Amino acid sequence: MSVDRKDLGVVARAATALPEAADIESAVYDALACAADIDPTYIFVSAHGAEITLSGWVSGRAEISKAAEVAQQTRGVQKVRNELSQTL
């Protein structure tokens, strides 16, 4: 007896694996380093799954917002916790 896949209701699915946390961290670091108006020297990135935490110090409020925006646009990032502070 021959069985056709369409008769089994089998649906092909594309792989949807998310990048590893370390890969996401590296991608965010790279994106911050390439972004205009951000000095990433004292920005630290940690990932827990697809959630990124930015911590450290930057020179102004504009950099705090820009860093979060850049991180959010990075492939694999689903949520950004922005704990950056402005240096005094």
Q: What is the H or E stretch that residue 26 is in? A: helix 21-34
Instruction: Please state which CATH number belongs to domain 19-86.
Output: 3.30.1340
- Its pTM stands at 0.77
Q: How far apart are CA 66 and CA 63, in angstroms?
A: 5
Write out the chain's pLDDT in tens, 88 residues.
Answer: 555 545 545 455 455 566 788 999 999 999 999 999 999 999 999 999 999 999 999 999 999 999 999 999 999 999 999 999 997 5
